[in-house]
Structure 1
């Protein structure tokens, strides 16, 4: 029996007026099972970020349905949507989105504080996730005192501390140097394999995508191709990704 955490059914997202309509997402359907690590790739303007925004409840679909844990989020009113976003989804952004006036501990704890979790439980949860992401030594430092890679691991800790149904990552390595990017990607693999976290990551970078277990390639608002890593090594998977990127055509600088 499958354990679907996400079901996307015939979603479409149009922008513009009747005379000038842009189809950002054009009839996409797929499912993600609990514990999967899925990457979405595509050139700039392909619709990959719009797709993530619709799944993350930041944007609304024009038509179709998105079910997360059997709840159809396209039917939610704004108040319920806000509560769902806060309690059931974890976010990792390219630019970290940490609050400069809070230290790392407080940034991680914020979502739990908003949900009125009692202080002793918050303390245990924050320290537990800090150990898993190797950031215990920087918990009481402010964002300006830590590196980009450390900031992104704090952001990852904040994303998972509420034990969300899904972690949604939008170009999480985009602002990092190669060493920090590799550390973050290894952290995401750890969260996926050791904690069974369900991760969906949008990336233009084949190296980042090669850490995932499955990749969906988006072109012109549709799913163009899909790769499953299977028993491939990460390097073998990377080479398969490059082959599909070549098939996608266009300016490859847009994809990488």
Structure 2
């Protein structure tokens, strides 16, 4: 598989000369096309800053970020907006659905913004809804849906534009255990059956166990990495917990 994401020696500083915080400290790694990567670490570790830099929401102080062989650190305002629309899909913890639009309209909006012909929008919305098994929710407004249904609509909105990379920030954080499992099963299906490349920040070990590989971030650096390989999800989950134990912490303050 080819590398879709190539992070090269990125650093991110906040503050001024008298009070400087290094949020990211010389991080480098790659993500292959079709890979599902989890990013974990304690609060303040830099994992969200890392995701924000990859998503172009924030900018790096130094280093380079290549996505699809394009150095996004060199893009200017209009180029960034175009790149974000065409190459990235986002899944947020709080769904970010528009309350005045139906599920269908929330998903279709992403295509309208990208100027997809109206004749093709209906087919693409219904196709992604079928993949995520939310056909029966398309005419509902967010207030009429459960948390799990809303998150799968958000997932459909992220996927419908056929992005190169899907970025998920604590996607199960606002869900109960049943809804979280349904969403994770959907994300796993997108990855395995439709080859979607996913990067997911999470505090939760069970959520992380759906990924192929996990990068642990601490103090702005990658301090460990584990790969699922042929392990079952249960075995991989146990390895995640083992990493926490080896680091001398517990799942509450590290994950």
Calculate the TM-score normalised by the size of structure 2.
0.98
- 8 Å contact from structure 2 (residues 8, 28) kept in 1: yes
Maintained 8 Å contact 1:205/1:255? no
Where do 4+ consecutive residues of structure 1 move more than 6 Å? none
Give CA-to-partner distance per residue, 1:150-181, whole Å, 9 cap, x none. 00000000000000000000000000000000
2:13 is aligned with 1:30? no
3-state SS of 2:66 partner:
strand
Distance 2:177 2:119 in 1: 37
For residues 86-235 of structure 1, what are the structure 2 equivalents within 5 Å?
Answer: 86-235=85-234
Aligned 8 A contact 1:210 1:238 in 2: yes
Q: Please give the alpha-carbon distance, in whole angstroms, between the structure 2 residues aligned to 1:248 and 1:58.
A: 31
Deviation (angstroms), 1:88: 0.6
Structure 2 residue matching 1:134: 3-state secondary structure: coil
TM-fit CA distance, 1:250: 4.7
Report Cα offsets for 1:103-159 as digits up to 9, x if no partner.
Answer: 000000111101111112111000000000000001010000000000000000000
Matched, 1:11 2:36: no
Note if contact 2:91-2:168 (Cα within 8 Å) is conserved in structure 1: yes
Q: 1:15 to 1:251 in 2, by over 3 A?
A: farther
Q: Look up the SS of the partner of 2:34 in the other structure.
A: coil
Per-residue deviation, 1:246: 2.2
Unaligned runs of 5+ in 1: none
8 Å CA contact 1:152, 1:184 repeated in 2: yes
Contact 2:128–2:160 (CA<8 Å) still a contact in 1? Answer: yes
Q: Where does 1:56-71 land on structure 2 (aligned, <5 Å)?
A: 56-71=55-70
Deviates more, 1:151-160 or 1:243-252: 243-252
Aligned Cα root-mean-square deviation (Å): 0.9
CA distance in 2, matches of 1:251, 1:244: 10
Q: Is residue 244–residue 250 contact of structure 2 (8 Å, CA) maintained in 1?
A: no
The alignment of Structure 1 onto Structure 2 pairs a total of residues equal to: 255
Q: Structure 1 length as normaliser, TM-score?
A: 0.98
* Alpha-carbon distance in 1 for matches of 2:3, 2:251: 33
Instruction: Indicate if the aligned counterparts of 1:39 and 1:209 stay in contact, CA closer than 8 A.
Output: yes
